Amino acid sequence: MTVYLVRRLIQALFVVLAMSLIVFVGVYAIGDPVEILISPDADQIERERAIVALGLDLPLWQQYLVFLTNAVQGDLGRSFVFNEPALRLILQRMPATLELAFGATFLALVIGLPLGLYAGLRPNASASKTIMAGSILGFSLPTFWVGLMMIMVFAVQLGWLPSTGRGTTCSVLGFIGLQPCSSGVQWSFLTIDGLSHMVMPAVNLALFKISLVIRLTRAGVRETMLMDYVKFARAKGLSPARVTFVHVFKNIMIPVVTVVGLELGSTIAFSVVTESVFAWPGMGKLIIDSINVLDRPVIVAYLMIIVMMFITINLVVDLTYSLLDPRVRLENKGT
């Protein structure tokens, strides 16, 4: 187990290294940040000074080496635009994205699993057919359009829910009354107002995931129900509830955990569209802005964090496998 974990971490290191190199070269190839960052009116001397200050006068490989040396010491560079450490910029916006992503995943499981289970157990019921038709909609409607429609209906016409921002936020320690709400990491889900701000973006993000979980669960249930061990479980005289929730459910959780894990990762990394539609101040917004101005330190730092996160999520998914499926032995597996 320990050997396995260590090997995975070493692999992760190489992935991060490779990724940083690719992004570094990639951003360099896209364009010159100097053109965007420095005002066109600036004279030659000012230009030179700025370029030296940003470290852009060195050849690319030297820039990369400087970056690596700093990265090893925990410094992922300063944003060209904000002149703040890139890492801090990203971490500031992370809670907003995290709570949105986890909220959406939570909705996906809480809504998707029961519906999928029902549709799998009663494939011919008209309710099941409705569920499946709905899931096709969830798959195919574009996120931004659904987001705009939700704003139009629930915020503009009905006026039930706020359409932009995070609302009132609070820190965990503040929530339990140990310190004022405003100090520490801020979360929207801890206040009623924040929650009401979260509902629409979370549902918007969850829609695709709910559909995914429904379809996965249904397919798994239908497949598992035909297995001999399910019939054998019934032949043992077990109640239908026990057969469904113990014998079937544990078997279908394996694909569901995989997909939900990866989905969680991509939601955290790329919920750009939803964050833009609902003006949710998360990481997605930051990365898009940074790409627009070729703010390379932020882009690189962001993607490094995302890669680490994906690796971690994959690791957690693999560990969950071993809990769910006794046949999986982690020691014998590669990545």
Partner 1 sequence: MATPTLEVRNLRTHFFTRGGVVKAVDDVSFSIQRGKVLGLVGESGSGKTVTGFSILGLVDAPGRIVGGQILFQGRDLVTMSESEMRDLRGNRIAMIFQDPMMTLNPVLRVDTQMIETVLAHKKVSREEARQRARDTLGMVGIPSPDERLKSYPHQFSGGMRQRVAIAIALLHEPDLIVADEPTTALDVTIQGQILAEVQKLASTTGTALLWITHDLSVVAGLADDVAVMYAGRIVEHGAVSEVLDTPLHPYTYGLIGSVPSRNKRGEPLRQIPGMTPSLLNLPPGCAFRTRCPRAAEVCMAEPEIRELAPGRDVRCFRPMSEAAEQAA
By CB under 8 A, tell whether 177 contacts partner 1. Answer: no
Q: Tell the smallest beta-carbon distance from residue 236 to partner 1 (Å).
A: 4
Query: Residue 242 Cβ, how far from partner 1 at the closest point, in Å?
Result: 7
How far, in Å, CA of 275 to CA of 96, rounded? 10
Distance between CA atoms of residues 335 and 319, nearest Å: 12
Pick out residues in 240-279 that bind partner 1 (CB under 8 A): 242, 246-247, 250-251
Q: Which is nearer to partner 1, 209 or 247 (CB)?
A: 247
Residue from 41, 237, 241, 334 binding partner 1 (CB under 8 A): 237
What's the CA gap between 305 and 269, in Å, rounded? 9
Q: How far apart are CA 180 and CA 81, in angstroms?
A: 32
Report 277-306 residues binding partner 1 (CB under 8 A): none
Binding residue for partner 1 (CB under 8 A) from 1, 45, 235, 241? 235
Of 55, 29, 11, give the one whose Cα is nearest residue 307: 11
Cβ atoms of residues 200 and 277 within 8 Å: no
**Taking the complex as a whole, how short is the minimal distance between the CB of residue 329 and partner 1, in angstroms?**
10
Residue 193 or residue 325: which is nearer to partner 1 going by CB? 325
Binding to partner 1, residues 11-70 (CB under 8 A): none
CA distance 239 to 252: 19
Among residue numbers 205 through 234, which ones bind partner 1 (CB under 8 A)? 227-234
Three-class SS state of 78 = strand
Check residue 327 for interaction with partner 1 (CB under 8 A): yes
The token duo for 56 is: 């852009």
Q: What CA–CA distance (Å, rounded) separates 163 from 150? A: 9
> Which is nearer to partner 1, 253 or 264 (by Cβ)?
253
In the complex with partner 1, the residue whose CB is nearer, 97 or 251, is 251
Beta carbon of residue 118, minimum distance to partner 1 (angstroms, whole number)? 17
Interface residue with partner 1 among 239, 331, 332, 334 (CB under 8 A) is: 239
Which of 71, 9, 94 is CA-nearest to residue 281?
Answer: 94
The token duo for 45 is 């001397």
Residue 130 CB, nearest approach to partner 1 (Å): 20
HEC readout, 141-196? CCHHHHHHHHHHHHHHHCCCCCCCCCCCCECHHHHCCCCCCCCCCCECCCCHHHHH
Considering beta carbons, is residue 236 or 333 the nearer one to partner 1? Answer: 236
State the DSSP code for 38: S
Smallest distance, partner 1 to C-beta of residue 252, A = 10
Q: Which residues lie below 8 Å from residue 292, measured CB to CB, with a gap of 6+?
A: none
Contacts with partner 1: how many residues (CB under 8 A)?
A: 22
Beta strands in 51-149 (DSSP E): none
To partner 1, the closest distance from the beta carbon of 3 in angstroms equals 22
Least distance in Å: CB of 231 to partner 1?
A: 6
Q: Are 205 and 146 in contact (CB under 8 A)?
A: no
For residues 229 and 122, give the distance between their C-alpha atoms in angstroms, rounded to a whole number: 19
Q: Rank residues 81 and 317 by Cβ distance to partner 1 and give the closer one.
A: 317
Q: Is 236 among the residues that bind partner 1 (CB under 8 A)?
A: yes
CB closer to partner 1 out of 200 and 230: 230
What minimum distance in Å lies between the beta carbon of 82 and partner 1?
50
Q: Which residues bind partner 1 (CB under 8 A)?
A: 227-239, 242, 246-247, 250-251, 324-327
